[in-house]
Amino acid sequence: MRTKGIKQIIKAVIPSALIRYRGPSASRRVALTFDDGPVPGITDEVVRSLTARGHRATFFVVGQRAESCPALVKEIVDSGCEVGNHTYSHLPLSRVSYNQLASEVERTDRILNRNVAGPSWFRPPGGGLSWRLLLYLWRRRIKASPVLWSICVPHEHRKSQAEILDILRTAAPGPGDIVLLHDDHRTIVHVLPAILDLLDERKLRSVSLSELLEPSFY
């Protein structure tokens, strides 16, 4: 309850330019984002499904997992998608010391920098925000900008495909939305084609966060 209250206060007082929840609605673009991978046999299939349909996405990778499959991280980037930092071991950052928080983020940066250009985006596990985290991001001058989401599909592996699609249809994704999904369970492989069908129905295209949030560079 306390963490939720902190998050609400932070969202109210911190400018949206510093913590991004959505992008501009000037074009028919959304950003599908996938947390908690990469997982061989899942993430690669997600990437191929996206690119086959002309979509791109951002994958917030866990450093521990990225370290064990660098070729998969490179495949994500080579496909036109991008990677973001999701900490090294997916610990709730509100419960760790400042030094441990810094280690979680910077260790993942170093792993990703071995294979691809440094990540532009950072997402705390569970979207957990705290004053300690904001202080850390400010001190490192937000080398990777924090991004949360405007639409969330929680715990896909506990839901049927129909339930997942119902969540998305109810949320009614529109231009500028940032959608949270996960690529650590095969459920996403099976439901992704239907999610892309829904975007097509709504005349939306998924792009990377950089394309959505920094359109002047594309």
Say which of 36, 177, 182, 183 is annotated catalytic: 182
Give the CB-side neighbour count of residue 99, counting CA atoms within 13 A.
0
The answer for residues whose C-beta is within 8 angstroms of residue 176's C-beta and 6 or more apart is 22, 23, 24, 25, 26, 29, 30, 150, 212
Active-site residue among 35, 36, 44, 184?
35
Q: Do 200 and 32 meet the contact criterion of CB atoms below 8 Å apart?
A: no
In 3D space, the residue among 89, 93, 90 whose CA is nearest the CA of residue 101 turns out to be 93
Candidates 85, 83, 80, 40; CA nearest to 59 is 83
DSSP 129: -
Residue 211: closest CA among 38, 32, 16, 21: 32
Annotation marks residue 35 as catalytic: yes
* Closest residue by Cα to residue 188 from 77, 68, 33, 72: 33
Query: How many Cα atoms occupy the beta-carbon half-sphere of 206 within 13 Å?
Result: 33
Catalytic, 190? Answer: no
Which residues are annotated as catalytic?
Answer: 35, 182
